[in-house]
Structure 1
């Protein structure tokens, strides 16, 4: 009996094997490995549809799903680790899903940063989007961390429910016609989402743009069509919301942290053979914009510049530590870990321990409202500003925006200082034995609106000083020639803005005058 049962099972297994290899319809369809084609996904009216064709049309959505899946898995890993009190001993071995790469033309784009940078950070955004506003500090931090390695481009994607989105983008392009695109770009995001028709001309005037030319441009249908062309491109790519950031084309949707963007910048640099933290070497000065570098605080004075058609023969007449001025050539050491890197007609660029700083021609800053075009405080000043209670204490927030203030505009506003001071009233909160100051009656104030301040904002600090009924250092700061950090409370939340005072004629004669 047992022998007959064993024979039965042997025959059954043989039949099943035969059916799997010969009795099914699957064998009729060639396998992808045999043909080199992607798997067959479907037939529509007899026409074969391959999986590759389906996935190509859905690559962005499929990546979003893959990223969501990765996030869920990592979250579950940390839940397990936390449950067993091993959260600090987690090592994630899951491969990070690689974003699809979208090819974009860089033709006619206005870049912030090194125009010859190997990495382009393209940002699809709407000026009316609070989410786009929120990533501006992150983008500025990326530009600083990867100085020389990256350049940023803004692509207009005003969503249809952003009533001022198209007009704001149009206005920014009109500012670009006069060389003020990035300053106007930053100013718009400080005002977001409070955008309206009156604002656009006011911002142009604060930046000392030609008002008549700006207003004429605002009516130009061709400029508007360029904004709509960008939006159509975004929609054709399958984008639906903002922000979307492309790092050399790598697609990253939604607001991200600095670390998430930096991860992909580092990956791109590594693929080029660049090590993490490696400094960018400026190989030539053609097209380099050195005007946004911070002024040096070192004991140096540029007395004169001797230019030569051969750059290596150019010399700077420099006083070092108040000694008699002598000529220095490019690459020559000025102080320990400080060397002369580049020369321009009105300033020099020095390499200070790996950081680039600007040394202005002596006498160029002697104006009634001194100049600055730096977006960076010194490390010591930054620490005092961000940690007002001392080292090791809680840090204040990063600046949410940087505003450029035209010197002529500022001088005109400060002529009414007594009227402006009257807008400050005492708030309930106190510090250093004095009441903090709140702004009242500024809804129609060109000055306070130009600073990005609103009704009932409570000022906390200007640079590293508290603002209260006993002292208000805002006025002195605006005429100090230094970058100005202002921290304030709005509806119970802290905000921080930076102001840069600039005289537009400072680079008079420069062929790129006024260009960003």
Structure 2
């Protein structure tokens, strides 16, 4: 009998030495600074202080070589581990008898830890999370696209403990790779980087000028400003800088993930990432089973000094969507403006957090309170959420019940601007005519196939293609007798859609973005 269940990881006290090679920082675990340190390459043990060569009298040690090759050496070590593990399972299958207890003690190779600079990058999740998941990806990569559901699950299951940051690594053969990355950064100017990021992956591989413009339009981005940003390739050097970092590390493909710097190459299972996240939590003396306690629940910041800057907080709009809360602030007595979390209010002054009756601002590194004031002040809670209730989620994911096959994870979450959607639905009769009866039947009715939607703004924004066959909207079938798509889009809740494309199942989710409470009144 092979022991199964969750692995128990014991924390080990390790000495770490920090050094830099070619501008990249490295942590060397397990006594890497020791003169007696050794490294195993294949079956041969090498003294790291061994001199590999002398170049014009200058010595090159094995240790120096291994720093340059540590990612490649780890790839080899993982390959060796996999070969040994497979052989071990073969031996167990051949020799083990029923009822025998088997304990597998084959050690898992420890990934090298790389020190990356996350400064100035958009982060998803808890900005103060102890674990950072750094992702090197290209928007044109199908592997990066298929990896997105795993990322979303990690952010959900380890909510509060982890955050995600993005590094652009468009590969040479990705013709739209650089421009797609630039377009996402242009969207970031409008504080919707992650919504646009998700939309691009949902539409991969159909990337290009039209998809960028349509995605921007559905997210209510000013089209002229957005197109100018892409046309001028404003962020090209930033994207190429990320690419240079990746190449400097020796990366050759995507995706590559670093969990607090721990190197993991290629798209992997949720369980593999979970293993290293939990090991990191334990290293930081955190119980992986413990729920994160959000600091906002303990209002320890109500004792911060009140700012004397020329600012007046006249409104607060709180959202359950990460980084979507907004504040209405008068600056230097001028007309109030709408500010999002992280946005600059004055030079070297940033909106840090919203606490209902006050805002926390970062004033040149010092935290201060900006109190809500004036009769104009309003606190407007927004209830929008990415989550279905538990019972609905079960019905969506397992339409045939507990014993039925579970649906695939959503390939993406698309955010749709409320104003844009309302305008599109004005032509609902025209849009409904795009649904044609398909051959397959369910509940005594024909399923519905999309026809003539190739250049339609509405269906393209929703990620549909010509001849897609819709299956379900949330927990309801779509057929000639009913189509819940329209009512779902106007429900104000997350919408889950399953469909078939070229014989394969697909799944997407949509969130209709409510206008901020102040958005419509700023121009008045």
TM bracket (short chain):
0.7 to 0.9
Distance in 1, matches of 2:132 and 2:36, equals 37
Q: TM-score, normalised by structure 2?
A: 0.74
Which residue, out of 481, 499, 503, partners 1:488?
A: 499
Partners of 2:214 and 2:460 within 8 A in 1 = no
Which residue of structure 2 aligns with residue 71 of structure 1? 82
> What does 1:107-256 align with in structure 2 at a 5 Å threshold?
107-256=119-268
What is the match of residue 307 of structure 2?
none
SS in structure 1 at match of 2:487: helix
Aligned-partner Cα distance in 2 for 1:34–1:103: 21
Displacement, 1:91?
3.1
Whole-angstrom distance in 2 between the partners of 1:291 and 1:344: 13
Identify, as 1 or 2, the structure richer in helix. 1
1:410 to 403, 415, 421: 421
8 A Cα contact 2:181 2:239, kept in partner = yes
CA distance in 1, matches of 2:506, 2:101: 36
Cα distance 1:166–1:372, how it changes in 2: closer, same or farther (>3 A)? farther
CA distance in 2, matches of 1:34, 1:243: 32
Which ranges of structure 2 fall in alignment gaps of 5 or more residues?
1-34, 39-46, 302-316, 323-353, 359-377
**Offset of 1:34 from its aligned partner?**
12
1:149-190, Cα deviation, whole Å (9 max, x unpaired): 111001100001000000000000000011110000000000
Q: Describe the SS at the equivalent of 1:235.
A: helix
Paired with 1:249 and 1:75, the residues of 2 have a C-alpha distance of: 28
Who is 1:272 aligned against? 284
Does the residue aligned with 2:228 lie in a helix, a strand or coil?
helix
Distance 1:138 1:178 in 2: 27
Q: Does residue 458 of structure 2 align to residue 421 of structure 1?
A: no
TM-fit CA distance, 1:142: 0.4
Q: 1:378: Cα distance to partner?
A: 1.0
1:105–1:507 CA distance, 2 compared to 1 (3 A): farther
Distance 1:219 1:42, change over 3 A: same
2:391 aligns to what?
380
The corresponding residue for 1:57 is 68
State the partner residue of 1:458: 469
Please point out which of 263, 268, 271 is paired with 2:275.
263
Q: Cα 1:488–1:499, aligned 2, differ >3 Å: closer, same or farther?
A: same
- The answer for unaligned runs of 5 or more in structure 1 is 1-31, 294-341, 347-361, 366-370, 511-516
Change (3 A) 1:480 1:221: closer
| Count of matched residue pairs | 411
Per the normalisation by structure 1, the TM-score is 0.75
Check conservation: 2:182, 2:234, Cα contact below 8 A.
Answer: no
Alpha-carbon offset, residue 413 of structure 1: 0.8
User: What CA deviation, in whole Å up to 9, does each residue of 1:321-340 have, x standing for no partner?
Assistant: xxxxxxxxxxxxxxxxxxxx
Per the alignment, residue 321 of structure 2 pairs with 292
The question of whether the paired residues in 2 share the 8 Å contact of 1:124 and 1:242 is answered with yes
Q: Offset at 1:390?
A: 1.5
Could you tell me whether the CA contact under 8 Å between 2:320 and 2:383 is conserved in 1? no
Q: Please identify, of 210-219 and 116-125, the stretch whose mean Cα deviation from structure 2 is larger.
A: 210-219
Deviation, structure 1 residue 46: 5.1
With over 3 angstroms needed to count, the CA separation of the structure-2 counterparts of 1:506 and 1:452, relative to structure 1, is farther
Report the Cα distance in structure 2 between the residues aligned to 1:79 and 1:506, rounded to whole angstroms.
63
Structure with higher Rg: it is 1
Structure whose residues are more often strand by fraction? 2
Measure, in 2, the Cα distance between the counterparts of 1:137 and 1:507.
Answer: 33
Distance in 1, Cα, partners of 2:37 & 2:401: 69
Q: CA RMSD in A?
A: 2.8
